[in-house]
Structure 1
Amino acid sequence: MVPDEAPEVPVTPRDAATVMLVRDGDAGLEVFLQRRVLGMAFAGGMTVFPGGGVDPRDADTSVAWTGPTPAWWAERFACPPELARALVCAAVRETFEESGVLLAGPSADSVVVDTSPYTDARKALVAREVSLAQFLADEGLVLRADLLRPWANWVTPAEEPRRYDTRFFVAVLPSGQRADGWTTEASDAVWQSPAGALEDWREGRRLLMPPTWVTLSELGEFSGVADVLAGSREVAKIIPKVVREGGVVRVVVP
């Protein structure tokens, strides 16, 4: 909830990563969505993509890595390479924790097909008992940064008491894997077309934050995963503004 008065000094945003998992459905492109549990401190009841804040251990340089380098990601997200590495690792970790989809494989050119053997490791990651680097090392897995694409960079408005500087990624659901709603942070999870999710939002069946409905609108312009992956994106930092008009609060997207 936006406070009645904006803080004199805006809260420093916490770095975060979120991943739009996509696949080709019978009627076209589908994206994986989760409805956050009501009462959560941030975005309770909202429908979102898997994601979360960066853990300090996500910056571990020992992570077995293949694909675009941290320097490459740093150029796309206009941040230091050390942060870029942490953002990519956070994207992979959060996607696995929240959806069970693992963007890693036994080698630089393979990807896990069945993630069920890693159920206990997934729980340990959620409980912060192990780091992503330790999990990958223990299982002999390589992080597949090449399975991710940069998409956007949204920052929570300065008026909010909880702020995130979130980098959005897109990734295709690996063959053989399935996304689930196992996380305790979500009350339900579903694959849906971007147009269907937006219709549910307009009809009041879903609650969407501005970054989510804007991103869904962008995804709705693509016919399938091949088009999504082929498109080039220039990522610019987007900071919405909160505007009060009488007793009504609106969020304006620049």
Structure 2
Amino acid sequence: MTHPATVTRVTEIPVKDASTVMLLRDGTAGVEVFLQRRVGGMEFAGGMTVFPGGRVDLTDADSAIEWAGPPVSWWAERFATDDARAVASVCAAVRETFEECGVLLAGPTSDTVVADTSDYREARTQLENHELTFANFLASEKLVLRADLLRPWANWITPVGEKRRYDTRFFAAVVPHGQIADGATSEADTVVWQTPADALAQWKSGGNVLLPPTWTQLTSLSGFATTADVLAAEPEITTILPLMHKVDGTLRIDFPDDEGYYEAGPHPWA
């Protein structure tokens, strides 16, 4: 089910699939989430604070990828999509997390996960530069993709009127023991671990810029005490298509439960 919105007649922009991962760990103050501030000059969400993620590649749907976890049909049902898009979305989530912060949700067997990804530094660069497919990387290193380490969380579509539009599926995952999330990506100039509450407080004071989907997921995560609680949750996933329009000359994006978003005052993206 898609959240209803009034669609303004504009030049049709193709909607591309994307995956985003809320990478979590347990900190002294509670659940912490890994956040990146995208490089300011980027064409989409430049300067915004976001979770790791990106566009789904055609090769992410490669049937040769060895998979551990719930069957494809389960993922397709949770995200209300077909099997091919479900496979591609899950694989893109794992690939993008590895490319953007060096965390790899894969292991030598279906019940293990690599503890140190430094040996794959060259492959990580090749993946980011599209010189290597994720399926070939996993096969050459004899690794199994650990889909069971991911949890489906949300689904948002970029509003009509944006120059680039994505159908983004959000996932939650906990950083495997021994692995370190870093900022070694060309797409981000700052990375940080924060509790969702701290990230929201920083946003409210003008210290970062959060788009509605990021704000909404941080708000939902702030209600959990531990990562185990997050992984045990089964949120209802309704496809959200926000409405972008102007009110008295000011850009506004309407989405479910958006009152708190605008209580904080004007937003720089507007």
Shorter-chain TM band: over 0.9
- C-alpha displacement of 1:160: 1.1
Match of residue 38 from structure 2? 36
- C-alpha displacement of 1:247: 1.5
- C-alpha displacement of 1:161: 1.7
3-state DSSP of counterpart to 1:41: coil
- C-alpha displacement of 1:243: 2.4
Distance 1:146 1:54 in 2: 19
- C-alpha displacement of 1:8: 2.8
- C-alpha displacement of 1:230: 1.2
Aligned residue identity for 2:198: G
> CA RMSD, aligned part only?
1.1
Match of residue 25 from structure 2? 23
Aligned residue identity for 1:69: P
Aligned residue identity for 1:19: V
Give CA-to-partner distance per residue, 1:158-177, whole Å, 9 cap, x none. 12121000000000010000
Distance 1:161 1:213 in 2: 21
**Which one of 101, 114, 131 corresponds to residue 133 of structure 2?**
131
Distance 1:178 1:124 in 2: 20
- C-alpha displacement of 1:9: 4.3
Give CA-to-partner distance per residue, 1:182-222, whole Å, 9 cap, x none. 00100010100000000110100000000000100000000
Aligned residue identity for 1:251: I
Match of residue 154 from structure 1? 156
Give CA-to-partner distance per residue, 1:30-81, whole Å, 9 cap, x none. 0000000001000000000000000000000000111011111000111110
Distance 2:9 2:137 in 1: 40
**Which one of 76, 79, 83 corresponds to residue 77 of structure 1?**
79
Task: Report sequence identity in percent.
Answer: 59
1:231 has 2:229 as partner: no
1:177 has 2:189 as partner: no
Aligned residue identity for 2:248: G
* Consecutive unaligned residues in structure 2, runs of 5 or more: 1-7, 257-270
Distance 2:193 2:79 in 1: 27
**Which one of 8, 13, 16 corresponds to residue 14 of structure 1?**
16
* Consecutive unaligned residues in structure 1, runs of 5 or more: 1-5
Name the TM-score, length of structure 2 as normaliser. 0.91
3-state DSSP of counterpart to 2:184: coil
**Which one of 111, 120, 123 corresponds to residue 122 of structure 2?**
120
What number of residue pairs does the alignment pair up?
Answer: 250
Distance 2:29 2:87 in 1: 36
Distance 1:77 1:9 in 2: 27
Distance 2:216 2:124 in 1: 31
